[in-house]
Amino acid sequence: MKLRTPGRLLLAPVVAFAALVGFAAAPAQAAIWSSSDQWGNYTTSDNYILYNNIWGSGAGSQTIWANSSSNWGVWANHPNTGGIKSYPNAKKIVGKPLNSLSSLRSSYNVTVPSSGAYNTSYDIWDSNYNYEIMLWVNYRGAVGPLGTSQGTLTLGGHTWTVYKGSNGSNEVFSFLRTSNSTSGTVDVLPILKWIKDTKGWWGNVTIGDVQFGYEITSSSGGLDYVTNSFSVSSS
């Protein structure tokens, strides 16, 4: 979905953005870290990486804050125009070949706004950034996945509509939960193995980043997205 390689700081146009970041609101909560920088990032004591990640064109201002890897959020004021503006997220690096994993699970609990256009999603990558797997757990407004529908299936404890496409740089597999959820647990490994073993869309890739955050298209006037709890576990 995103027209950039994750985990790398690209030289994007920032002049207009730089004039805006000074207007970002302070975090709603007292936080141990916050940033309004376009690529602001912070590594927690348990080795999660928080990333402001304002990457899309026409973006407004955004401030990310964190008390821990499991309690963080973002205030964003992006104009009511089309196109993804940002993907503030928390990332855990797995770094294991798919066939060597016996478990990969994640839990989340979020508070999201009732206006704007966005999705709350996992963004999972292989270590070479050739494949992107998005798991949309809730979404609102004028947003949609890349590619064409592959049907509906139940995996990992949820029912999804699956889409397959490409953004020109990498293949994208999007799983959209058929009913919005603001909390739950996703058994990620069966989804990844379905892509490999049932569909043959990739081989025994090394799973790199497991990201979780908010892909924001518009949040005019300023909206809060809060992660009340979040964790990733693998073995």
8-39 per-position pLDDT tens digit = 333 333 333 333 333 444 455 568 999 999 99
Q: Per-residue pLDDT tens for 186-199? A: 999 999 999 999 99
* Model pLDDT, residue 23: 40
Mean pLDDT, to the nearest integer, of 59-88? Answer: 97
Contact predicate 92/188, CB 8 Å: no
In order of their start, the domains of the chain are: 15-234 (2.60.120.180)
Q: Which residues does 15 contact at the CB level (< 8 Å), separation at least 6? A: none
Contact predicate 65/84, CB 8 Å: no
Contact predicate 87/2, CB 8 Å: yes
For residue 72, give the amino acid letter: W
The tokens describing 100, both together, are 């060597």
Instruction: Check whether 229 has a pLDDT greater than 60.
Output: yes
Dihedral sign (CA 143, 149, 155, 158): positive
Average pLDDT, the chain: 90
- pTM for this prediction: 0.88
Q: Per-residue pLDDT tens for 111-144? A: 999 999 999 999 999 999 999 999 999 999 999 9
Contact predicate 222/150, CB 8 Å: no
Mean pLDDT, to the nearest integer, of 39-60? Answer: 97
Contact predicate 64/25, CB 8 Å: no
For 169, phi then psi, to 5°, come to -110, -30
* Model pLDDT, residue 1: 47
H or E element at residue 15: helix 15-20
- Edge-to-edge strand list for the sheet holding 117-126: 41-43, 49-51, 89-97, 206-218, 117-126, 131-140, 171-177, 158-166, 148-155
Nearest-5° Cα angle at 151, 148 to 156: 115
Contact predicate 73/28, CB 8 Å: yes
* Model pLDDT, residue 31: 85
Instruction: Check whether 4 has a pLDDT greater than 70.
Output: no
* Model pLDDT, residue 30: 61
Name the residue among 148, 153, 159, 138 with its Cα closest to residue 227: 138
Name the residue among 29, 41, 23, 77 with its Cα closest to residue 216: 77
